[in-house]
Amino acid sequence: MKNAYARDAAERYQIGSICYVSTAKKPYDLECAQVPEQRFYNTMLKEHKKKLAMSRLLLREISDIITKVSTGETKPYEESNNNKNIVLYLLSELYKENEQELHYRLVEIFRDILHVDLTNYIEESRRLGKFNNRYTRPQVIELLSKRMQKYILEKRVLLPRHGLSVSELLDKKGRENRKLMREEMPKARGNGLHAVI
């Protein structure tokens, strides 16, 4: 009897699967198990289909962006350097100080106070606004990496002890958003919320 079941199972062989006699009570119940190679091909096929669907989605998004840019709905992406700039406040202006001396002074200030070496990280520095004897103009420092800007902004709590302060450089839209947040902050604090900009 066992050989008859085995022969019947061998005759029912299908491509990609092997049939064998089950241990069920009915003698002709057959179960099919996939060959390991077939399972491998099936998983590879599923992964390929997922990647194909993802690539089609990305191509559709790229074509949408191209049409928006060509029709003028949106402007092409332009990375601004504001995300790498910091503003140093209350840094005294020395008489006839050239750019190289200012660069060395900035490197020394950040090394002594924040323990950060900016020797090769400062790309450019400039003052904001016109010269005035009554107050010191803020110093804009353009750094080479966004990571260094984040690190300096994290450690800026050490600067007020030395009469200096640092913040990020905001564009016009960022300043407007900050102004709106300042107007709404007292209302939120009045409602019992912890509001901080």
The model's pLDDT over 79-90, given as tens digits with 9 standing for 90+, comes to 455 679 999 999
d(CA 148, CA 145): 6
What is the reported pLDDT for 142? 93
Regions of the chain short of the pLDDT cut 70: 1-35, 72-82
What is the reported pLDDT for 82? 64
What is the reported pLDDT for 28? 45
Tokens of 17: 């699967």
d(CA 150, CA 83): 9
What is the reported pLDDT for 15? 42
Mind listing the domains of the chain with CATH numbers? Answer: 2-34 (no CATH), 81-171 (3.30.70.1820)
What is the reported pLDDT for 69? 78
What is the reported pLDDT for 19? 44
CA distances 22 to 3, 9, 10, 55, Å, are 14, 10, 13, 43
Q: What torsion, rounded to 10 degrees, do the Cα atoms 116, 167, 146, 120 define? A: -40
For residue 91, how many other CB atoms are within 10 A of its CB? 22
The three-state secondary structure class of 78 is coil
Q: What torsion, rounded to 10 degrees, do the Cα atoms 36, 42, 46, 52 define? A: 120
The three-state secondary structure class of 17 is strand
